[in-house]
């Protein structure tokens, strides 16, 4: 989807305390071989902080940086991966009330770690369809403190899950980065990769989260892992090239590339190598220090690039990712101005 006249005007994050991989090994939570294999040096742990409160904090920062009043928000899209609060309760109204927003249309996106890119695609269509609406707020937050899953070893090879929240303000009046394009593609034949052999319905809530076991089951029963990875890499490259074509640029025009914060070999296998890009263009050196922050990876890394002036006006940035289902996605931004809050 090509985007015209839409800008990122503010970015905000909530980043809790960091636990190093070395400390996790000392506590018996992580294995030395896994750390050496992934290269991930630590992750963020939020304790018992509610994810919706993390989202509100990130949103306040994004709105302040955008110079926008909460009452000016026309559209809120909140995405998440894990539980946000009590069952049969939805976070949109809570976020709006805490921010002091008068009224806004609200959507909740459940598309895993692709949540913010899916929200971006949805926001483009919503704002284009109604010229009276000029500002959207995208939020996401997750806290993975739960006995249901093991953040250090239960979410896949090369993956350490971290807690975080992030927010992005989109504006039709201008901003620090122009949204050029965003696309996603689903690979239905791989949806079972993150389902494994588990039942589709568990009314007693006995489910535990072991993504490694699910992937192992799917690979053993249906398709070899090498073939699965090849399909993912091909489809990821295809959706990237579609987004680049719509933005009117090529791979060589990219200044930086943001991918899911996983092990270095995964970033290379699924994105950099198929595109012929060097490691130096990725944000992996930053991502390895905070872990895989669910749907916050892209905004947290983008804020880091903007705040530290690693991207400047005229630079093109690719945001790419994947999520269970199986979804691959890509978005292209062009920096239009230095952020007022940059160091």
For residue 45, which of 151, 167, 166, 157 has the smallest C-alpha distance?
151
Beta-bridge mates of residue 320: 330
Q: Which residues contact 235 (CB under 8 A, 6 or more apart)?
A: 185, 187, 328
Give backbone dihedrals phi and psi of 32, rounded to 5 degrees, phi first: -55, -45
List the structure tokens of 86: 């009590």
> How far, in Å, CA of 169 to CA of 171, rounded?
7
Q: How confident is the model at residue 156, as a pLDDT?
A: 85
Tokens 């302040």, residue located: 64
Q: How confident is the model at residue 157, as a pLDDT?
A: 86
Tokens 């590339």, residue located: 257
> How far, in Å, CA of 121 to CA of 117, rounded?
6
For residue 20, which of 142, 209, 143, 162 has the smallest C-alpha distance?
162
Q: How confident is the model at residue 147, as a pLDDT?
A: 85
Give backbone dihedrals phi and psi of 292, rounded to 5 degrees, phi first: -80, 110
Tokens 């012929």, residue located: 276
Q: Which helix (H) or strand (E) holds 53?
A: helix 51-66
Q: What is the 3-state secondary structure (H, E, C) of 61-114?
A: HHHHHHCCCHHHCCEEEEECCCCCCCCCCCCHHHHHHHHCCCCCEEEEECCHHH
3-state helix, strand, coil in the chain (%, to 5): 40, 25, 40
pLDDT tens track, the chain, 343 positions: 999 999 999 999 999 999 999 999 999 999 999 999 999 999 999 999 999 999 999 999 999 999 999 999 999 999 999 999 998 999 999 999 999 998 899 999 999 999 999 999 999 999 999 999 999 999 999 999 988 889 999 898 889 999 999 999 999 999 999 999 999 999 999 999 999 988 898 877 667 889 989 999 999 888 898 999 999 999 999 999 999 999 999 999 999 999 999 999 999 999 999 999 999 999 999 999 999 999 999 999 999 999 999 999 999 999 999 999 999 999 999 999 999 999 8
| Rounded (5°) CA angle 20-23-29 | 105
Q: How confident is the model at residue 206, as a pLDDT?
A: 66
Q: How confident is the model at residue 208, as a pLDDT?
A: 82
List the domains of the chain with CATH numbers: 7-174 (3.40.47.10), 180-335 (3.40.47.10)
Give backbone dihedrals phi and psi of 39, rounded to 5 degrees, phi first: 80, 0
Q: Please confirm whether the linkage preceding 53 is cis (ω < 30° from 0).
A: no
Q: How confident is the model at residue 207, as a pLDDT?
A: 74
| Paired sense of beta strands 177-186 and 327-335, if any | antiparallel
């Amino acid at each position: 989807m090509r985007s015209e006249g839409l800008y990122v005007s503010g970015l905000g994050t909530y980043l809790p305390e960091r636990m190093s991989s070395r400390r996790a090994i000392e506590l018996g939570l992580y294995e030395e071989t896994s750390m050496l294999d992934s290269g991930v040096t630590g992750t963020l742990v939020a304790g018992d902080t509610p994810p919706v409160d993390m989202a509100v904090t990130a949103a306040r920062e994004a709105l302040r940086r955008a110079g926008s009043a909460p009452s000016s928000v026309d559209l809120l899209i909140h995405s998440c991966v894990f539980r946000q609060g009590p069952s049969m309760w939805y976070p949109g109204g809570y976020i709006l009330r805490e921010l002091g927003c008068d009224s806004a249309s609200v959507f909740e996106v459940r598309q895993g770690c692709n949540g913010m890119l899916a929200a971006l695609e949805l926001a483009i269509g919503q704002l284009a369809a109604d010229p009276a609406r000029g500002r959207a707020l995208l939020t996401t937050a997750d806290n993975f403190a739960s006995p249901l899953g093991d953040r250090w070893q239960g979410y896949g090879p090369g993956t350490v899950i971290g807690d975080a929240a992030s927010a992005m303000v989109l504006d039709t009046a201008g901003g620090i980065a122009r949204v050029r394009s965003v696309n996603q593609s689903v690979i239905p034949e791989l949806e079972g990769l993150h389902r494994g052999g588990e039942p589709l319905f568990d009314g007693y809530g006995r489910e535990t989260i072991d993504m490694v076991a699910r992937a192992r089951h799917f690979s053993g029963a249906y398709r070899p892992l090498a073939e699965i990875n090849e399909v993912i890499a091909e489809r990821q490259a295809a959706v990237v090239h579609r987004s680049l074509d719509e933005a009117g640029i090529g791979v060589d025009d990219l200044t930086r590339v943001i991918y899911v914060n996983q092990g270095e070999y995964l970033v290379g296998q699924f994105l950099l190598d198929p595109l012929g890009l060097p490691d130096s263009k990725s944000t992996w050196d930053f991502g390895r220090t905070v872990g895989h922050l669910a749907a916050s990876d892209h905004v947290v890394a983008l804020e880091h690039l903007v705040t530290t002036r690693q991207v400047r006006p005229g630079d093109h940035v690719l945001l790419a990712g994947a999520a269970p289902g199986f979804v691959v996605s890509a978005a292209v931004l062009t920096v239009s101005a230095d952020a007022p809050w940059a160091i």
